[in-house]
């Protein structure tokens, strides 16, 4: 695949990014190197290689659930800008 300035300009337009002419030349060269690398990878014979589902052998690295204390209502409301003493007060966003 050939990367040209028209493709770089189209990608910049789609992503709402603005580049100088020098930056466009750098991006064009970088994209061409990436495409060349992917094309080179496609030449590798992967017959008999099982696809990986995960890169590591670890399956579940999550911690165990632990019952812990929580903050009190008063502590939670301390930093609230507006409260009614028991709840946070927020502006109405749904009109009936």
What would you report as the CA-atom Rg of the chain, rounded to the nearest whole angstrom?
27
What CATH fold (topology level) applies to the domain 5-41?
A: Histone, subunit A (1.10.20)
Distance CA(28)–CA(14), nearest Å, equals: 16
Q: What is the dihedral of CA 37, 42, 46, 51, to 10 degrees?
A: 80
Distance CA(1)–CA(55), nearest Å, equals: 29
- 5-46 pLDDT, tens digit per residue, is 999 999 999 999 999 999 999 999 999 999 999 999 899 998
- 51-90 pLDDT, tens digit per residue, is 887 777 777 778 888 888 888 899 999 989 999 989 999 9
Contact 18, 12 (CB under 8 A): yes
C-alpha angle 8-13-18 in degrees, rounded to nearest 5: 80
Query: Would you kindly state where each structural domain of the chain is located, as residue ranges?
Result: 5-41
**Coil, strand, or helix at residue 82?**
coil
The pTM of the full predicted model, rounded to 2 decimals, is 0.49
Contact 89, 82 (CB under 8 A): yes
**Structure token digits, residue 73:** 């209502």
């Amino acid at each position: 695949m050939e990367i040209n300035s028209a493709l770089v300009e189209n990608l910049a337009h789609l992503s709402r990014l603005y580049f100088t002419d020098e930056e466009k030349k750098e991006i064009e060269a970088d994209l061409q190197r990436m495409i060349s690398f992917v094309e080179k990878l496609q030449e590798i014979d992967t017959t008999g290689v099982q696809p990986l589902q995960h890169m590591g052998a670890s399956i579940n690295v999550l911690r165990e659930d632990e019952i812990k204390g929580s903050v009190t209502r008063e502590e939670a409301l301390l930093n609230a800008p507006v409260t009614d003493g028991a709840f946070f007060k927020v502006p109405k966003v749904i009109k009936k």
